[in-house]
Structure 1
Amino acid sequence: MSQFGKSSAKRSKPSYLYAIIGVSLILFLFGIVGWLFLNLKKSGEMFRENIQVHAYIQRSATKKQIDSLQKYIEAIPYVKNLEYITKEKATAKWNAENDTTWKKFLDNSPLPESMDFYVKSDYMNKDSIASLQSELEANFGGRVMSEFQYPTETVGYVSSYTKYIAAGILLFAIILSIIVIISIDNTIRLAMYSNRFLIKTMQMVGATRSFIARPLNVRAVINGLIASGIAILAVFCFILLVEKFVPWLKLLRDGRNMAIIITGIIIAGVTISYASTHRSVLKYLKMKLDDLY
């Protein structure tokens, strides 16, 4: 019987190796898809945060009033990168981007001064911008601010499609998670199949369920960690390779997103490996010996 146990243990080693490789590949795909979607989310945030808002200033506004408007906008929590555009800056910017023949006909620049700023991505939607516009017009409209301007059509598209994109990402993430769980579960069950006689033999000689399951569960956790480590390394190598050919993707690097990917891979690898192994052990313990053949 000891020889039977040894031969079973020997046969189980390749299965563990194949299981680790199989789980690593599945987790690698899981990590890549997660990285793509997190980058999509990040690029969407960057796009929204690069939509500029303009608060144009009345020509009759005094410096004190302008300073008051600037301080008020700067104090708004979701406003970022505020810049006071003087006539000189506005003229220089216009000359750099447009025709300068107006200088032949006008002595003074007709361009108004403005407060140009951006808002955080969560607030770049029609409702939030409209609320900000109403707030500024109520406090500074007419006296200091002549016009509040932003690309309404672009913001409208962002507001409309963000919900659909978020719903699509959530749905795909759920489907992907189900596929990952089923794939890893099947891989682990195939690995445990080669150990079914060993499990049953230990039960027949009087070993308790917990005694039989404990070393296999520990091994499952270790295998899950190894597979996760291989998958994480492969994901990092893939990202570096892609960034080498597409340099602008480096702008999307985010430590928080990478931490989410790493944590997700480890949790998925360890949890599913443990659960699948434990379930397989209980299954074979409940089966009759003849049913194992």
Structure 2
Amino acid sequence: MAQFGKASSKRGKPSYFMSVLGVTIVLFLLGLLGWLGINSKKLMQHFKESLQVQVYLKPNVNERDRTALQDSLERLPMVKSVEYIDKDAAKREWLKAGNEDFTGFLEENLLPTSINFNLKEQFVDSANVAAVQSGLSRLPIVDEVVYSKGVVGAMQRNFQVVTLVLLVIVIIVAILVIILIDNTIRLAMFSNRFLIKTMQMVGATRGFIARPLNIRAVLNGALAAVIATAVLYGAILLLESFAPGISALFDRELFFLLFLGLLAIGISITFISTYRSVRKYLKMKLDELY
């Protein structure tokens, strides 16, 4: 009987390897989708907060009024950053944009001074930006307030579509992940069905039979999550070597939370699937196992 149990246990080992491999692949794909979701949110935030509102000042504005306006903008909770552009800086931006140098035929720099500021992500929408523009335009020292209206509208529409599409993909992939991992674990338990039934026939309790299998399921789920996360991290580092700009979007804290999520999913599904399979084979008669 002991030899039979040992032989059955040896036959079960390959199935555990395949189950770990299968769960690892599925968790890697889920982790990759999660990482894309995290980065897409940060990318949306980056694009929204890159929108710049330019407040052009009237000529001969005194320094005190200009400083007061700049300070008031910096104190607004919706403003992320403020920058004052004097005539020299405006000239540098003019030339940087590929425009012709006017110093050859003009003695005076006619480019206006401006206070440029960026809004925080949650305040970048058409209504908020339009309200800011209207309020600033009424100030006596302000000549004009300029921002890209078309860009703001396009951002809102495109980000809503992207968010909806990602949500649908996440739901579909989550369902597929649960089904694939459950089928993988059930296949692993199928190869151990005779061992489970044999232990029951010699008087082992359900708890005694299920306990080591459940523990093994938890360890396998955790191992699969660790391997999947390590492979995902390696793939991200490899991707960064080809596209260095991606490193600016990589958030280690969010990646750690992603790892914890994969760990919880891997352990939960493998444990539940193993528990259900063990109960199933314990309830079956010996003839039904063939």
TM-score (norm 1): 0.91
Q: Which runs of 5+ in 2 are unaligned?
A: none
Match of 2:191 among 189, 194, 200: 194
Q: 2:30 aligned with 1:33, yes or no?
A: no
For residues 266 and 86 of structure 2, the distance between their equivalents in structure 1, rounded to whole angstroms, comes to 57
Q: Is 2:274 the counterpart of 1:274?
A: no
Alignment of 1:128-207 (within 5 A): 128-137=128-137, 141-207=138-204
CA distance in 1, matches of 2:184, 2:101: 72
Partner of 1:118: 118
Q: CA deviation at 1:184?
A: 0.8
Shift of 1:268: 1.6
What is the DSSP-based 3-state SS (H/G/I as helix, E as strand, rest coil) of the residue aligned with 2:204?
A: coil
Query: Superposition RMSD on alpha carbons, in Å?
Result: 1.9
1:14-25 to structure 2, matched below 5 A, reads: 14-25=14-25
Q: How do 1:169-248 and structure 2 match up within 5 A?
A: 169-248=166-245
Q: Report the secondary structure of 1:109's partner residue.
A: coil
- Whole-Å Cα distance in 2 between the matches of residues 279 and 236 of structure 1? 33
SS in 2 for 1:84: strand
Contact in 2 for aligned 1:61/1:143 (Cα 8 Å): no
- Residue aligned with 2:180, SS: helix
Aligned with 2:211: secondary structure?
Answer: helix
Deviation at 1:105, TM superposition (A): 4.8
CA distance in 2, matches of 1:142, 1:265: 53
CA deviations on 1:174-202 (whole Å, 9 max, x unpaired) are 11111111111111111111111222222
Query: Which amino acid is the alignment partner of residue 150 of structure 2?
Result: E
| CA positional deviation for 1:21 | 1.3
Q: Distance in 2 between matches of 1:98 and 1:226?
A: 56
Could you tell me the percent identity over the aligned residues?
44
Whole-Å separation in 2 of the counterparts to 1:131 and 1:255: 37
Number of residue-to-residue matches in the alignment: 290
Q: What per-residue deviation string (whole Å, max 9, x for no partner) do you get for residues 13-52 of structure 1? A: 1111111111112112222222233223322222222221
Asked if the contact 1:57/1:112 (under 8 Å) is kept, the reply is yes
- Deviation for aligned residue 1:225: 1.1
Q: Distance in 2 between matches of 1:104 and 1:6?
A: 93
Uncovered stretches (5+) of structure 1, i.e. residues with no partner: none
* Structure 2 Cα separation of the partners of residues 246 and 67 of structure 1: 41
Q: Does 1:252 align with 2:230?
A: no
User: Deviation string for 1:245-286 (max 9, x for gaps)?
Assistant: 222222222113312321222112111111111111111122
Counterpart-to-counterpart distance in 1, 2:28 and 2:69: 51
**Correspondence for 2:53:** 53
Query: 1:6 corresponds to which residue?
Result: 6
- Residue 211 of structure 1 deviates from its aligned partner by 2.4
Give the Cα separation in 2 of the matches to 1:184 and 1:13: 17
